[in-house]
Structure 1
Amino acid sequence: MSDRDRNTVASPVSLTAEDGPGQPPVTPALQDLYRGFEKALLVPLWTEIGDLMPEHPRSRALPHRWEWRTLLDLAARSGELVPVGRGGERRAIALANPSLGGRPYATPTLWAAIQYLMPGEDAPEHRHTQNAFRFVVEGEGVWTVVERDPVPMRRGDFLPQAGLHWHAHHNAADQPMAWIDGLDIPFQYDVEAQFFDFGRDALSAEERTTPERSRAERLWGHPGLVPVSRLGRPAPGAGSPLLRYRWEDTDAALTDQLDLERAGHPGTVEPGHALVRYTDPATAADVLPTIRAQFHRIRPGAETAPRRETGSSVYQVFDGSGRVTVGDASWSVRRGDLFVVPSWAPLSVRSEASPSDSDSGALDLFQFSDAPVLTRLNLFRTHVEENA
């Protein structure tokens, strides 16, 4: 296109002169100035400051809840109809926030999806710059293979995977299995930094084994103990070298916090609310460069104080039941349900769990967020309101 052609293309800039506080008087000269701005593809800040620089975050995302039963039913139907191989490159079904134009985004920065693998199936190998994890709310029998290291996946396990690691999955069981995937796809898409590579079509016999512990867990899965041989020699891509955080360890840590509270000692973040964060055993930093993962346990009858954070979060109910309030939205939730907390929306949770619907007797919530990105940019803020 020539310079002359470019100059004849209709401008996408449209400006309206309006009377108002801080605005210049509307005159023919001002309107003529605005037409000049439009033609030159310029936008004066005084017409946009309320939108571009508001007093507090105004998220494009809405609070929303997805019921696990619905997700699981649709994933099972997909398992019968949709191949898992190179055509679709994973049978993953993403949550689409209702205010993000039909994009497969749970929030403007976070992707969340249910992935479903049929008995005996393999999900072929690939890698991508997107940081990812898997979290298992029910079932077992699938091994994820990261850099040719088979890693078991069982209920309650959290499996982080930093970008650019080769990975595949195989189902060694006679039953289907579902789990949730979390990735920073929307963030990397918007900053235009993503890469993707196809890997091998098939796994080797050694990778199709089903060890109780991966090689990564044997090296890094010992609390407080770091293998000196691996210090200063990180795997490709930043992120935790521990590929599986076992439910047994998470459960014990949460139980101990509430037991300490009952005995009158500090340990919980607020009354009845135990919280742990998954961290890199080599650095104590977040497990992934762009994703923070945490686990909450709220004893029956307890209610968390309304909390606001910059950045967005996705929660999954691991066990129990309760009432969740996000801004003006409020829902009853139970095992498997997922919900979104947009930036700066106040979140409070009331536990209604009991031994009839929770193995721990409490409301257990898995959470992931974009907090590491905002923290590095000095943009992460939090505010906790006083409970009435």
Structure 2
Amino acid sequence: MNISTEVGISRKAFYDEIRDINLSPLWEALHNLVPSKPNGQCVPELWKWADVAPHIERAGRLITAEEAVRRVLVLENPALPGQYSVTNSLYAGLQLILPGETAPPHRHVQSALRFIVDGKGAYTAVDGERTTMSPGDFIITPSWTWHDHGNEGIDGDIQPVVWLDGLDIPMVRFFDAGFQESSDERSQTVTRAEGNSFAKFGYNMAPVNHRVSSATSPIFSYPYERTREALDTLYRQLEIDLWHGVKLRYVNPATGGWPMPTIGTFMQLIPRGFRTKPFRSTDGAVFSVVEGKGRVKVGEKVFEFGPKDHFVIPSWHTYSFEADEELVLFSFSDRPVQVALDILREERLEP
């Protein structure tokens, strides 16, 4: 028996022996634990609205919002089957509420966002204040706040409403810090008039006695009308960023920071005929197409998309956009956490 064979047998015996007392050799896994670059399982994926919408409608016939608590079809990354995750740190799903329905109140540690995709007139209530939802609106449900949803329509016009849910469920699961509580009420009592939070904090002002007590924005509804106006104005006035077009991040007006401590949210406009330069970053992102048609190239994959389509770009995947029409894209990622931990990395590449 040569020395290398003997060493191999000795090592195997050693590994078997220490495994019995729950030890393992780092040197056997170091290249995977501390890789030269991100090597996560997640893959890019596109969910076409034309493919998804019939199944959302069918779910509405099969189960009520009250039975389901939240009637959602999860956007599950193909590389993470059974984990109810769109990336390793984020959850995404499409929620439906039909005319006359109520999704009962509950609260949980997980922070949540709603981005309205289809229909208008439903509402979300957060800690005693309602906001009526329209396509393109970005709405926050802060951690451990009571929230429920209903669909009473506007001026007699009651439509099915679908929105994109984004939560930090995988992140909270990683820390094993999840708690949830349900209410026996069908809906929570409204204690503040609609628009109260926006009146207090949405006009570059705040009540004189306000003290910041939460990392989450005191505004829980960001109307698309104002967001679109900002994009249009900056498109006319600023030089277009070659990697992002016109891209804005939503902010907490009380601090200037992120609206949510664990999830960053963005809206961008890419002019018709514009092709962005390739970009990559460690914060994998979920995109919702608000307006326009175009394509995104992610690595060697090319996804053609249109309004109400959704796609995910995982961490450190190089991507670029091409706009056939003027594009407006909403996106969310775990960037606030990566910034806080000082691990975010991004690269603006040349073709």
CA distance in 1 between counterparts of 2:215 and 2:54 reads 36
- Which letter maps to 2:331? Q
Report the counterpart of residue 82 of structure 1 in structure 2.
63
Identify the match of residue 46 of structure 1 among 20, 27, 43. Answer: 27
Identify the match of residue 372 of structure 1 among 329, 336, 340. Answer: 336
Q: CA RMSD in A?
A: 1.9
TM-score, with structure 2 as normaliser: 0.93
Structure 1 window deviating more from structure 2 (169-178 vs 121-130): it is: 169-178
Higher CA-based Rg: 1
CA distance in 2 between counterparts of 1:30 and 1:124 reads 58
CA distance in 2 between counterparts of 1:27 and 1:280 reads 58
Post-superposition offset of 1:255: 0.7
Post-superposition offset of 1:352: 0.9
TM-score, with structure 1 as normaliser: 0.84
Task: Tell me the percent identity.
Answer: 33
Question: Is residue 319 of structure 1 aligned with residue 302 of structure 2?
Answer: no
CA distance in 2 between counterparts of 1:205 and 1:162 reads 18
Deviations 1:173-201 (A, max 9, x none): 22211111110011111210111000242
Post-superposition offset of 1:161: 1.9
Over 3 Å counting, the alpha-carbon distance change for 1:205 and 1:165 in structure 2 is closer
Contact 1:272 1:299 in 2 (8 A): no
Question: Is residue 70 of structure 1 aligned with residue 51 of structure 2?
Answer: yes
Post-superposition offset of 1:137: 2.3
- Which letter maps to 2:48? E
Deviations 1:33-81 (A, max 9, x none): 2222222222212111111111000111111011112222211111111
Deviations 1:139-179 (A, max 9, x none): 21111111110111111111112101100111012221111
Report the counterpart of residue 196 of structure 1 in structure 2.
180
Over 3 Å counting, the alpha-carbon distance change for 1:255 and 1:54 in structure 2 is same
CA distance in 2 between counterparts of 1:230 and 1:272 reads 35
Q: How many residues of Structure 1 are paired with residues of Structure 2 in the alignment?
A: 344
Report the counterpart of residue 35 of structure 1 in structure 2.
16
Question: Is residue 343 of structure 1 aligned with residue 323 of structure 2?
Answer: no
Question: Is residue 246 of structure 1 aligned with residue 251 of structure 2?
Answer: no
Question: Is residue 126 of structure 1 aligned with residue 106 of structure 2?
Answer: yes
CA distance in 2 between counterparts of 1:84 and 1:243 reads 22
CA distance in 1 between counterparts of 2:6 and 2:294 reads 54
Question: Is residue 168 of structure 1 aligned with residue 113 of structure 2?
Answer: no
Contact 1:161 1:240 in 2 (8 A): no
- Which letter maps to 2:329? L
Over 3 Å counting, the alpha-carbon distance change for 1:99 and 1:204 in structure 2 is closer
- Which letter maps to 1:195? F
Deviations 1:6-27 (A, max 9, x none): xxxxxxxxxxxxx8xxxx9844
Question: Is residue 143 of structure 1 aligned with residue 139 of structure 2?
Answer: no
Report SS of the residue matched to 1:119.
Answer: coil
Report the counterpart of residue 8 of structure 1 in structure 2.
none
Contact 2:291 2:327 in 1 (8 A): yes
Query: Which stretches in structure 1 are left out of the alignment for 5+ residues?
Result: 1-18, 354-361
- Which letter maps to 1:140? K
